[in-house]
């Protein structure tokens, strides 16, 4: 496992319990989190994986890390930032969902359900 994914999972393991009080029924479904929590998770993922920046940030940027910090720090800076953050989340959702689920299961000691299989009657 790469160092970046280990660090990101460590960050996530600390963040998920902090988010829990904001939810009546806290679960491991990233899609049910509030926008600000999704933004924190996406921002942290991108900070830990700068190789992904080329996929999401404009190529003309000179200081990509500063732009990324401003994009996520400027929560109320305008509609364009909200659109960009939303698009980044949608692009990262399929990558982040299994990671969030895995870390959630580890933090809360949840045993994943066994695969039911493809046999008749299951």
The whole-number pLDDT of residue 111 equals 82
How confident is the model over 45-92, as pLDDT tens digits? 999 999 999 998 888 888 999 999 988 886 566 688 888 899 999 999
Residues 6+ apart with CB under 8 A from 88: 42, 46, 56
Residue 60 covered by a domain: yes
Q: Is the confidence at residue 20, as pLDDT, over 90?
A: no
Q: Work out how many domains the chain is built from and give that number.
A: 1
Residues 6+ apart with CB under 8 A from 106: 13
Q: What domain range includes position 34? A: 3-107
How confident is the model over 83-113, as pLDDT tens digits? 889 999 999 999 999 999 999 999 988 887 7
Residue 113 covered by a domain: no
Residue 112 covered by a domain: no
Burial class (CB in 10 A: 0-12, 13-18, 19+), 101: middle
Residue 29 covered by a domain: yes
């Amino acid at each position: 496992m790469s160092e970046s994914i280990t660090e990101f999972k460590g960050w996530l393991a600390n963040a998920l319990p902090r988010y829990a009080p904001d939810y009546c029924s806290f679960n491991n479904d990233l899609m049910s989190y509030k926008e600000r929590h999704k933004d924190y998770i996406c921002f942290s993922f991108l900070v830990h994986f700068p190789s992904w920046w080329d996929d999401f940030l404009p190529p003309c940027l000179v200081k990509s890390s500063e732009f990324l910090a401003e994009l996520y720090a400027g929560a109320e800076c305008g509609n364009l930032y909200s659109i960009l953050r939303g698009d980044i989340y949608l692009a990262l959702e399929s990558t982040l969902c299994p990671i969030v689920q895995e870390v959630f299961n580890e933090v809360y000691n949840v045993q994943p359900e066994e695969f039911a299989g493809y046999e008749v009657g299951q």
